[in-house]
Amino acid sequence: MSQPALAISPAITIVDGKPTILSTDLARHFGKRHDDVLRAIDNLCLQLDEDHLRNFAETEECRASPLNGAPISARAYRLTRDGFTLLAMGFTGKKALAFKLAYIDAFSRMEAALHQPADTQRMELAFSLAAEAAAQVHRTVFNAVMQGDADEWRHSRYLLNLNYDSQGRPTLPHAQPIATDQMVVSFSSLPQRIADGEIMSATDAQLATLATACTQRLTQRAQHREKQVTLPIYPGNSPGQRPASAPALPAKQPPAPDEGLLRMTFR
């Protein structure tokens, strides 16, 4: 029997040739406070020998301050598959089991991809795009430092897009600064991040404005669907269907690089 679809996408990242996961992602997906997860890892590390300690690499992650939304560095861990397995033993419950199975499957797929024979053409493309992306980031950061004020550039963040033309061929990557009060988040994860209180800098008025905009958009879509259903019936056509002589709707354009992502600015 297949596992039910989960509203998570385990963020597995390759570091030093091994699939890894950040403790912050684990905390968010398992619905736990990150400081509790850090405490569990710290206690676990006290019981491990040196070989097993390598599965828990202490690191730092930039996140928004709960006080004013400014970017700050926060303590975190990066776990290997074995590290995740050791830590997840303490996560119990039906929901936790589903999350553990999702992570194990993601680790397995990543490891299988790493053991596949190298695609020479794809590797050459990867090196080319990586070099151009690095150049774009270099130029963007250089301009931000030279043009910004004395302190603003120290907290700057940047968005990097790998662009493709209508035939799917890669074009020049694009890098741009992101303001400290902006965020890039997928539509699927936005409701949960709001519900979990991760968007700390949003005011009540801003959240109310967002809710109103969503309600208005749903109303517009419902009215549009209602009009479609009430279109007159033409000979040889089903209810709501346009006649054969009606002009065809324009073809859907290829998706933009950021389609599926929502960029929000809280002021």
- Compute CA distances 74 → 23, 40, 70, 142, whole Å: 11, 17, 12, 26
End-to-end CA distance of the chain: 48
Return the residue matching tokens 């033309």. Answer: 165
Regions of the chain where pLDDT drops below 50: 1-9, 267
- Roughly what angle, to the nearest 10 degrees, separates helices 81-88 and 34-45? 100
> Concatenated DSSP letters for 19-32?
EEEEHHHHHHHHT-
The helix (run of H) or strand (run of E) holding residue 201 is none
How many other C-beta atoms lie within 10 A of the C-beta of residue 20? 22
Write down the pLDDT at residue 212: 92
- Torsion sign over Cα 203, 205, 206, 207: positive
**pLDDT tens across 34-52, in order?**
899 999 999 989 998 888 8
> Concatenated DSSP letters for 119-131?
-HHHHHHHHHHHH
Domain boundaries along the sequence of the chain:
12-115
Residue 261's contacts (CB-CB under 8 Å, 6 or more residues apart) are: 184, 185, 186, 187
Q: Report DSSP state, residue 143.
A: H
**Residues facing residue 159 across a β-bridge:** 176
Alpha-carbon span 106 to 238, nearest angstrom: 45
- Torsion sign over Cα 135, 178, 167, 186: positive
Write down the pLDDT at residue 88: 81
Alpha-carbon span 238 to 232, nearest angstrom: 9
